[in-house]
Amino acid sequence: MSSQTNRDFVTSGFMFVVGIIAFILTFSFKSFEGTNFGVGVEFMPRVIAALILLTSVIIFVNALKSRSKKTNDTNLEAEEVVEQETESKNYKKLVISIIAMLIYILLTPILGFLIATALFLIAQMLIISNFAKEKIVLFLIISILMAVVVNYVFRNVFYVMLPQGILG
Amino acid sequence: MLEMLLQGFSGVLNVTTILLILGGTILGLIFGSIPGLTATMAVAICLPITYGMHPVAGMSLLMGLYIGGVSGGLIPAILLKLPGTPSSIATTFDGYPMAQKGQAGKAFSFAIVSSFLGGLISIMLLIMIAPPLGQFALKFGPYEYFAIVIFSLTLIATLSGDSLAKGILAGLMGIGFAMVGSAPIDAFPRFTFGFSELDAGFDLMPVLIGLFAVSEILLVAEKKGLQKIKYDLKKISYKVPFKEYLSEKWNFLRSCAIGIGIGILPGIGGGTANLIAYAAAKNASKKPKEYGTGVPGGVVASETSNNAAVGGALIPLVSLGIPGDTVTAMLLGGLVLHGLQPGPLLFQNSGDVVYGIFAALLIANLFMAVLLFVGMRGFIKLLSIPQYILLPIIFALCVVGAYGVNNRMFDVYALLFFGIVGYLMSKAKIPLTPLVLGFILGPLLETNLRRGLMLSQGDFSPFVTQPIAAIFLIITVVSVGWKIWKSFSKSKKISFEN
- Are B98 and B226 in contact, with CB atoms under 8 Å apart? no
Residues on chain A touching B403 (C-beta within 8 angstroms): 160, 162-163
Task: Check pLDDT > 90 for residue A154.
Answer: no
Q: What is the mean pLDDT of residues B61-67?
A: 95
pLDDT band at A86 (very low <50, low <70, confident <90, very high): low
Q: Which residues contact B286 (CB under 8 A, 6 or more apart)?
A: none
Q: What pTM value is reported for the model?
A: 0.84
pLDDT at B333: 84
Beta-carbon count within 10 A of A38 CB: 15
Are residues B188 and A29 in contact, defined by beta-carbon separation less than 8 angstroms? yes
**Contact status of B336 with chain A (Cβ, < 8 Å):** no
Name the DSSP letter for residue B222.
Answer: T
Amino acid identity, residue B432? L
Asked if B404's CB is within 8 angstroms of A154's CB, the reply is yes
User: What confidence tens digit (pLDDT) does each residue in B386-404 have?
Assistant: 888 888 998 998 898 888 8
B182 strand-pairing partners: B189
CA dihedral A47, A53, A58, A60 (to 10 degrees): 170
Q: Look at residue B345 in the predicted model and tell me its pLDDT.
A: 84
In the three-class reduction of DSSP (H, G, I as helix; E, B as strand; rest coil), residue B182 is classed as strand
B residues 255..274 contacting A (CB < 8 A): none
Nearest of B69, B46, B74, B38 to residue B216 by alpha carbon? B38
Q: Is B186 in Cβ contact with A31 (below 8 Å)?
A: yes
> Three-class SS of residue B167?
helix
Per the DSSP assignment, residues forming a β-bridge with B189 are B182
- The yes-or-no verdict on residue A29 having pLDDT over 70 is yes
Q: Which residue of B has its CA nearest to A99?
A: B416
Q: What is the pLDDT of residue A31?
A: 66
ipTM over 0.95: no
- Report, as an integer, the average pLDDT of A118-146: 91
Fill in the amino acid letter for A26: T
Q: Among residues B451, B456, B188, which one has the least CA distance to residue A32? A: B188
- Chain B nearest CA to A38, separation (Å): 4
* DSSP assignment string, B338-367: TT---STHHHHH-HHHHHHHHHHHHHHHHH
Q: Tell me, what's the pLDDT at B421?
A: 96
Distance, CA of B282 to CA of A38 (rounded, Å): 52
* Chain A contact present for B481, CB below 8 A: no
Handedness of CA B440, B441, B444, B450 (dihedral sign): negative
Residue A160: which residues within 8 A CB-CB, separation 6 or more?
A: A154, B48, B49, B51, B400, B403, B404, B407
Nearest partner of B303 among B87, B475, B133, judged by Cα: B87
- φ, ψ of residue B470 to 5 degrees: the values are -60, -45
Confidence band of B497 (pLDDT split at 50, 70, 90): low
Q: Which residue of A has its CA nearest to B180?
A: A45
pLDDT digits (tens, 9 = 90+) for B461-479: 888 888 889 998 998 888 8
Torsion of CA B50, B266, B432, B34, to 10 degrees: -60
Cβ contact (<8 Å) for B222 and A90?
A: yes
- At residue A70, the pLDDT reads 64
Predicted confidence at residue B388, as pLDDT, reads 87
In this complex, is the C-beta atom of A31 within 8 Å of any C-beta atom belonging to chain B?
A: yes
Amino acid letter, residue A3:
S
pLDDT at B194 over 70: yes
Residue A41, pLDDT > 70, answer yes
The answer to whether B58 touches B19, Cβ cutoff 8 Å, is no
Contacts of A10 in chain B (CB under 8 A): 428
Mean pLDDT confidence for B190-195: 83
Q: What is the pLDDT of residue B230?
A: 57
- Mean pLDDT score, A148-153: 91
Q: What whole-number percentage of chain B has pLDDT above 70? A: 94
Does the distance separating the beta carbons of A32 and B186 come in below 8 Å? yes
- For residue B163, give the chain A residue with the closest CA: A59
Could you read off the pLDDT of B107-137 as tens digits, one per residue?
999 999 999 999 999 999 999 999 898 888 8
B384 pLDDT band, cuts 50/70/90, is confident
* Cα–Cα distance for residue pair A136/B169, rounded to 1 Å: 44
**Torsion on CA atoms B57, B405, B142, B475, rounded to nearest 10:** 80
Q: What is the pLDDT of residue A19?
A: 94
pLDDT band with cut points at 50, 70 and 90 for residue B158: low
Pairing state between β B181-182 and B189-190: antiparallel
Count of beta carbons in the 10 Å neighbourhood of residue B477: 13
Q: What is the mean pLDDT of residues A35-60?
A: 87
Which amino acid, one-letter code, is at A114? L
B491 vs B242, residue with greater confidence: B242
B66: closest CA among B267, B360, B262, B343? B360
* Amino acid B338: pLDDT: 86
Q: What is the pLDDT of residue B496?
A: 57
Instruction: Using the CB atoms, write b or e for B267-292: b if 16+ within 10 Å.
Output: bbbbbbbbbbbbebbbeebeeeeebe
Q: A145 vs A121, B182, B213, B401, CA distance in Å?
A: 10, 42, 22, 19
